[in-house]
Structure 1
Amino acid sequence: MRRPLWILIVSAGVCVGLTLGFRQALGLFLTPISLDMEIGREMFALSLGLMNLFWGLTAPIAGLVADRLGAGRVAAAGGLCYAAGLVAFTFSGDGDQLILGGIFIGCGLSGAGFSVVLGVVGRAAPEDKRGAALGAVAMGGSIGQFVALPYTYAFLEGYGWTVSLFVLAITTLLIVPAAWGLSGKPAQDDGADHQSIAQALSEASRSWSFWLLNIGFFACGFHLAFITVHFPAYIADQGFEPWLATASLTALGICNIFGSYGCGVLGDKFPKKYVLSFMYLGRAAIFAGFLLLPISEVTVIAFGALMGFLWIGTVPLTSALVATMFGTSYLSMLFGLVFFGHQIGSFLGAWLAGHFYDLLGSYDVVWWLSVAIGLISAALHWPIEERPVQRLAVAKAPP
């Protein structure tokens, strides 16, 4: 049964809100877990880096299963896996348990996260409204981030990190009923009913634009993982109280609500590749400005707010670009492959920051690396050919 688009958007938004919200909140646990377990920041950062890497590794597989069998069961399984990973964190006695928990959470994110649920909505939405529909789902993720941070901070301050992680695990199980709205086998369209998986992969791999999109998306993952994992600790290192980092990330979440939807709408009105290029340029400028200006409570909050407008608005635009170029029949799988580039960036952003901090006692190298990566990504998106591949162009041509 084909459900109305609004049900798909709401269900997808809830799934993304829970998965991304609690993923962003995990950075609040870096300092207490590292201190209590006496393991240094690199080990916890490595566990979250592996979380992001396994998210990327398993995203194409989860996307393929969702494209063939439907997203509902995949998202529900992802929610269960995510909760299991948080429980593993709860009972961590050493670094090995943290690593295991990170891997489970990563696999859960691949099932209930962007690559699966955006494929459902992107397939159902009209082409001229696809960017706005995908932006609405991303907006759900933004609301989740806005709510999850103070929710997590309140439990962390009141009950400690062990109880807080268990509460997050229980809350994550809400993904399972939300996945019902995504159930059902997807319909095939775009004139690609007879295209095989191998043909879809071959077609994408021959496209330079596909590789430019993949490599360029690396920057988004690097930025997101570095900030979500290390920003609270960085602000504490500057001598500020923990509430300031939480307030900054909450401001990021609020502005992200508007930024995610707004970027999707802009992608329907202007070439998506140019919108993405300017977004990465904007990120580089914000990073540089934050480093060059004297740090204060005002600049910390302003950094979060400005980054929020450019935070995950890249995701609906990138997904919509994949749909424009290759159609929607294998959208979840192909976006999952592009998302793998994002997650390589996430792994390095989380792990390298912890590595350099333990090595040098500072995050400065990674801050400036974030500026450079943003500039490179902006340049990579500019020459992307934003048009359907020949197969789709022929199928859509009038007889």
Structure 2
Amino acid sequence: MSVPSSPVGAGAPAASSYLKVLLFGCAILVISTGARSSFGLFLPEMTQARGWSRETFSLAIAIQNLMWGIGGSFLGAMADKYGSLRTLLLGGVLYVLGLLGMAWAETGLGLTFSAGLLIGVAIGGTSFGIILATLGKLVPAEKRSLAFGIGVASGSFGQFLFLPLAGWMIADLGWQTALVLHAVIVGGIVLLAFGVRGDAPVPGQGAEVRLADGLRDAFGDRSFHLLFWGYFVCGLQIVFLQLHLPAYLLDKGMPGKVGAAAIALIGLFNVIGSLGAGMLGQRYPKKWLLSGIYIARSVVIGLFLLAPLTTWSVWLFSAAIGLLWLSTVPLTNALVGQVWGVKYLGLLGGIVFFGHQIGSFLGAWLGGRFFDQFGNYDLAWALVIGFGLFAALVHAPIDPRPLGERRVASAA
């Protein structure tokens, strides 16, 4: 299968032209992903302190994920047209304000505005969509999948670092102080953004990036819609586990530190999973790798629920699901670049990711809703398993050929 050549110029760009961006971009992802991954640890503490239901907290995080998707689409388009620096600066400032607002929110509405609206848009401007789109325009096509894998792995490492740190801060300093310290750390994104920049237009594009052309190509292609709904399932599964697994284990009588360690362990093993997915994506069809990941997720979750719940079963589950955690991200973004090109990768990657965030909204909110209504997570677990099998089927009909190649074949 042929893949598009590097968009940066006639020859392949020198490694020095993207290694700096990769380094600083990975540092941003460590902070951005690490900070948001710890919110599940605040759920029991904040709901008890403020007298909120779990649905109140879950709805705020659900809206956060929805706004991440909406904001990510618009901010991805902004990065395509004007470069990533402004987008990262805006996202970093909003992230800090959102965390501070979350620390002093006294009502469900205040929590929704700070943790939901502000942090949601902020993550859209500081997370994978912006960093991977920037890398996609600099890294040669034959190395793109691996570069994306490295970026996602760095985010997972941030999750591994932040969970124990957040658990310690909440236990020893209190949840409010922990959120303030989160804001201080996240402020580092504003400085790191200058190492990514990405404001220099891709040669040959300049200001002539016509976003409507990219939208028309994508929305008229069935494969784009299939990828969108497959990614929807990824978001539903990931956010349900990230937000509700610590509470689920707490409900089963396990110490709070087990839930925190479980999410951290997932992040550690996803460093391996993301790098492995990035390398495999350079050798094997990405759509079949994605189908395999979704099937494996459903199997792992099913076995976890059937097995006796012990500390060791939690560790084994965390390691197994960690290998599959964000391994879909480098493959999905690389597939977008492979089929529809990298010129509009920020916009189109953001729109596909919006599907991910619709699923994230449902995974976060329905988990809390089902628990408040039924007193357990049984229906939510069943939903997570069933949708994993659905996603495996959805990826099968995707046509991975570049759009230009398909048009030539059709005309012939």
| Interval of TM-score (by shorter of Structure 1 and Structure 2) | over 0.9
The SS at the match of 1:74 is helix
Residues 1:264 and 2:303 aligned together: no
**Structure 2 letter corresponding to 1:212:** L
Partner of 1:22: 35
Partner of 1:138: 152
**Which string of whole-angstrom CA distances, capped at 9 and with x for unpartnered residues, describes residues 81-136 of structure 1?**
11111111100111111001121000000111111111001111111111001101
Report the CA distance between 1:177 and its aligned residue: 1.1
Partner of 2:75: 62
Distance 2:271 2:312 in 1: 21
Contact 1:67–1:186 under 8 Å retained in 2: no
Distance 2:312 2:354 in 1: 35
Distance 2:128 2:121 in 1: 12
Report the CA distance between 1:362 and its aligned residue: 0.3
Report the CA distance between 1:166 and its aligned residue: 0.5
Instruction: Give the structure-1-normalised TM-score.
Output: 0.96
Instruction: Give the structure-2-normalised TM-score.
Output: 0.93
Distance 1:362 1:279 in 2: 27
The SS at the match of 1:294 is coil
The farther-off stretch of 3-12 and 267-276 is: 3-12
Contact 2:134–2:198 under 8 Å retained in 1: no
Partner of 1:371: 385
Partner of 1:315: 329
Partner of 2:363: 349
Residues 1:113 and 2:122 aligned together: no
**1:1-399 residue pairs with structure 2 within 5 A?**
4-101=17-114, 102-188=116-202, 196-390=210-404
**Structure 2 letter corresponding to 1:76:** L
Distance 1:45 1:70 in 2: 34
Report the CA distance between 1:13 and its aligned residue: 1.1
**Structure 2 letter corresponding to 1:10:** L
Contact 2:80–2:209 under 8 Å retained in 1: no
Report the CA distance between 1:33 and its aligned residue: 0.5
Q: Which runs of 5+ in 1 are unaligned?
A: 395-399
Report the CA distance between 1:182 and its aligned residue: 1.6
Q: Which runs of 5+ in 2 are unaligned?
A: 1-7
Distance 1:262 1:283 in 2: 16
Report the CA distance between 1:187 and its aligned residue: 3.6
The SS at the match of 2:282 is helix
Report the CA distance between 1:192 and its aligned residue: 11
Report the CA distance between 1:195 and its aligned residue: 6.2
Contact 2:246–2:260 under 8 Å retained in 1: yes
Report the CA distance between 1:196 and its aligned residue: 2.0
Distance 2:360 2:269 in 1: 22
With over 3 angstroms needed to count, the CA separation of the structure-2 counterparts of 1:18 and 1:392, relative to structure 1, is farther
With over 3 angstroms needed to count, the CA separation of the structure-2 counterparts of 1:392 and 1:4, relative to structure 1, is farther
Structure 1 vs Structure 2: percent identity of aligned residues? 36
The SS at the match of 1:124 is coil
With over 3 angstroms needed to count, the CA separation of the structure-2 counterparts of 1:357 and 1:346, relative to structure 1, is same
Contact 2:149–2:278 under 8 Å retained in 1: yes
Report the CA distance between 1:390 and its aligned residue: 2.4
Distance 2:93 2:77 in 1: 19
Q: RMSD between aligned alpha carbons?
A: 1.9
**Structure 1 letter corresponding to 2:62:** G
**Which string of whole-angstrom CA distances, capped at 9 and with x for unpartnered residues, describes residues 179-218 of structure 1?**
1122142443699996621111011000000000000001
Contact 1:190–1:392 under 8 Å retained in 2: no
**Which string of whole-angstrom CA distances, capped at 9 and with x for unpartnered residues, describes residues 234-282 of structure 1?**
0000001011111111211110111111101100010111111100111
Contact 1:57–1:340 under 8 Å retained in 2: yes
Contact 1:82–1:104 under 8 Å retained in 2: yes
Partner of 2:4: none
The farther-off stretch of 264-273 and 17-26 is: 17-26
Distance 1:190 1:288 in 2: 50
**Structure 2 letter corresponding to 1:197:** L
Distance 1:186 1:370 in 2: 42
Report the CA distance between 1:221 and its aligned residue: 0.4
Distance 1:197 1:68 in 2: 8
Report how many aligned residue pairs link the two structures. 395
Distance 1:86 1:194 in 2: 37
Contact 2:64–2:119 under 8 Å retained in 1: yes
